[in-house]
Amino acid sequence: MSNTKSHAGTPILDLSQPLQPCSLSSLYNASKDWGLFHIINYGISKDLCSQIQTLSKHLFTLPSKTKLRLGPLSSLNSYTPLFIASPFFESLRVNGPNFYVSADNFAEILFDKKDSKFRVGTYILNEREAPCPCH
């Protein structure tokens, strides 16, 4: 993992190279000095990233009543509505330790069915054949 800087000075962490002993140091310094960093060449196809972004937009545009099925009063407690943490913050998350089961339950509650589009096995098969995206 190499560490370079973008034109704006933001640290860039390039995961295309094998991990080196200085990798953790670079990650630590980027987090400490900047509080953020840009990761490139992480091996996830642009198509999959686009599909996940589309799904995320869809999830957050669902009616509040639907999202609240996963809210603070539900057994899963996976949804944080606006104004609970901040007027600018809303989140949906899967919970551990078994993230796979959590994600399945999440989809079943929101969509009244199990959606296999983003299953781990499908992702792994797709990524074995997908080239690393260029930035």
pLDDT band for 123, please (50, 70, 90 cuts).
very low
- Looking at residue 135, its pLDDT comes to 40
Instruction: Decide if 134 is inside a domain.
Output: no
The per-residue pLDDT of the chain, averaged, comes to 77
Return d(Cα 82, Cα 130) in angstroms, integer.
Answer: 37
**Domain span holding position 100:** 46-129
124-129 mean pLDDT: 48
Please indicate, yes or no, whether residues 70 and 85 belong to a single structural domain of this protein. Answer: yes
Contact between 92 and 76 (Cβ < 8 Å): no
70 found inside a domain:
yes
In a domain, 113, yes or no: yes
Same domain, 56 and 89: yes
Residue 36 and residue 69 in one domain: no
Q: Convert the pLDDT of each residue in 73-121 to its tens digit.
A: 887 788 888 888 788 888 888 877 888 788 788 788 877 766 556 555 4
Question: Considering the domain boundaries, does residue 86 fall inside one?
Answer: yes
Q: Shortest CA distance to 23 belongs to which of 44, 8, 39?
A: 39
Kindly state whether residues 68 and 86 are assigned to the same domain.
yes
Domain count, the chain: 2
135 lies in a domain?
A: no
Distance set, CA 80 to CA 3, 4, 74, 105 (Å): 34, 36, 11, 17
pLDDT digits (tens, 9 = 90+) for 59-71: 889 898 888 888 8
Q: What is the pLDDT of residues 38-67, one digit of tens each?
A: 888 888 888 988 988 998 898 889 898 888
Q: CA angle, corner 107, sides to 102 and 110, nearest 5?
A: 120
- In a shared domain, residues 66 and 109: yes
